[in-house]
Structure 1
Amino acid sequence: MSCCTTLAPPEQSLGQLDRRTALAGLAGAITLAGRAHAQGLTRLRLAFCGQLLCVVPYEVTRARGHFRAEGLEVELVYTRGGNQAMQALVGGAVDYAGTSFDVALQAFANGAPIRRFASTGRLPLFALAAAPARAGTIRDIAALDGRTIGISALGNADHVLALFLMKRAGLDPGRARFAALGTNLYEALRRGQVEAAMVQEPALTLVQEAGGHVIFNAMDIADATRVLGGAFEFMGVAVRASERDRRLDEMRRLARALAAGLRDTRTIPVEEVVAALPRELIAGGDWGRLGVILERYRESLYPDEVRIDPEAAARVARAQREAGVLTREVDLAVLLDRAVLEG
């Protein structure tokens, strides 16, 4: 799965990073730094998870020139998951990390000295769907009692959200059987190897086309408001707490650039959004289907401003506590440095 699903606390080791830039290696880094210096730009590195719908605003911001308009040369560093991005930040390998709020919350609870100051995603990238063979009998969350439910892995964000939804519906999650299936959830659900599953796109669209039933779509703001009470803080940017004050102007410029990228992501023709994405990210994929998916969800998934919604963040913390994942007290007023964008 991706950063959008992993909740384990960051380890001491950095982990493997997948660099987006074609100028891989030391020579490329030196070239990039030299070019930025020559043009009077501030060069910085931003690591984030490589899940497709997470990266869209960042690539749009880059492609539309918003980073450079703020005097920034931003190297986007793709990682295999949110924990790796957080490890890179805490270990000093990058300047900023973009991760799901689940990852930031767990990292902070486990002592990571970070501050979250901007939001680029307001909903988790999951939907709870019933298998085609069970579409007639599993119509709501209450019908999950005693069922087999597919998730990416135990303890991941999709598992936590499933536990939270079941408890909110008055069910005992202990009666359900959770099948950890990694990334191949779609095939298991389509074939009826599990009765329901937490899936992402394009798996959700494919399951619907195969006759499956959507029980709850967290990627839709109306559904999220109905079930969760509103937005559910997801993707956003963190900085090392020790560098917050000296980077304050830079953080504000980065946030302004991302805010412009978010507005573009929500409003420009979807074909231009798709064109901003790196070709290798969707190698062998269906570009037409991606455009349809983005058109369907972009106004729900991406906020119209980068200021963090404290209520959306509190919903995530509450879900983690009720699911038994967040076992330590977390002061959200410290983790969420909202003063950065209020100055």
Structure 2
Amino acid sequence: MRISYFVPPALLVSARERGLLAGIALDESLTPNSAAQLAGLLSGELDLVVTAIDNLFEWSRTGAELRLLGQVEATTPLSLIAAPGIRSLAELDGRTIGVDAYDNGFALVARDRLQRAGVRAQWIEVGGVSERFEALADRSIAATLLGPPFEERARAAGFVELFRVQDEFPTFPGQGLVARADVLGTPEFEHLFSALCASGLLPVEREGLNLLIRFRSRLGLLPPNFDLSATLVHEDPSLDITRRGAS
């Protein structure tokens, strides 16, 4: 099984430490960005990815047969971090903000927040969290969204936290585990999936999905006829969002 992620997810680390991955030929790789993850899934070079759940909205446009298995974390801690001297969202007007992908992923929470604040920033695609941190550090961008441990490193270097996503959006969902539909049911997948479930793979929270829908609706980015239930995968009822009080 070939899996890609931005940073090693805790449940995968836990599964390995507990010996639950014994007998699984697992090829792990760090991804530079979500576009590379989609390319790998479409080409068959990747079987699973850990990524922002929001990516599925855009990825669905490609016709890719992908399934959302669960959340690897309840939420993804994120902060909008700016260069020293920038003290408010208003001061980002006209400045450059680095994102992984402009139309999907974590960028949307920042775009939504700045749009509602009346801030018109310039958005450039830089890459994953490591690349965004480096771009902020060398001042090629004025701000970006960072999570642990990068936001702590940025604050220690004098960069400024403008807002925390979880303070304003407590139901913001964590990253999800996404698989190609054709690997489901294979012995290798079932072994890995069982190990990850035993190590803390979480059900997908409907409240978080609804928040992503609101972001996309306000930004005019909601794909037509997108059915969230179509991204549901496994017969394990504990990971079925349709059983979690969906409205």
- State if a TM-score over 0.5 links the two structures: yes
Matched residue, 1:165: 113
Q: Does 1:103 align with 2:44?
A: no
2:183 and 2:137 mapped to 1: Cα distance? 48
Distance 1:327 1:61, change over 3 A: same
Kept after mapping to 1: 8 A contact 2:97/2:121: no
Q: 1:342 to 1:178 in 2, by over 3 A?
A: closer
Residue 152 (structure 1) shift:
3.3
In structure 1, how many angstroms separate the alpha carbons of the residues matched to 2:180 and 2:135?
A: 39
Decide whether the 8 Å contact of 1:152 with 1:180 is kept in 2.
yes
Q: Percent identity?
A: 18
Q: Aligned-pair distance for 1:114?
A: 2.0
Question: Quick one: higher RCO (CA 8 Å, sep 6+), 1 or 2?
Answer: 2
1:65 — aligned with what? 19
> Does the 8 A contact of 1:129 with 1:197 survive in 2?
yes
Q: State yes or no: 1:232 paired with 2:173.
A: yes
1:208 corresponds to which residue?
A: 155
Backbone CA RMSD of aligned residues:
3.3
CA distance 1:133–1:238, shift in 2 (3 Å) = same
The 1:336/1:319 distance shift into structure 2, 3 A limit, reads farther
1:299 alignment counterpart: none
Count residues in correspondence. Answer: 235
Question: Per residue, is there more helix in 1 or in 2?
Answer: 1
TM-score (normalizing by structure 2): 0.75
Equivalent residue number for residue 196 of structure 2: 258
Residue correspondence of structure 1 range 176-195 to structure 2 within 5 A: 176-182=121-127, 185-186=132-133, 189=136, 194-195=141-142
Q: Secondary structure at the match of 2:202?
A: coil
1:47·1:78 contact (CA, 8 Å) conserved in 2?
A: yes
2:82 aligns with one of 105, 125, 130? 130
Distance in 1 (CA, whole Å) between partners of 2:136 and 2:2 is 35
Is residue 2:29 matched to residue 1:78? yes
Greater Rg, structure 1 or structure 2? Answer: 1
Contact 1:232-1:312 within 8 A present in 2 as well: yes
CA offset at residue 128 of structure 1? 0.2
In structure 2, what is the Cα distance between the partners aligned to 1:180 and 1:88? Answer: 19
Give TM-score, length-normalised by structure 1. 0.57
Unaligned runs of 5+ in 1: 1-44, 219-223, 263-304
SS at match of 1:311: helix
User: Which runs of 5 or more residues in structure 2 are unaligned?
Assistant: 240-247
Taking the aligned partners of 1:132 and 1:197, their CA distance within structure 2 comes to 13
CA distance in 2, matches of 1:154, 1:250: 31
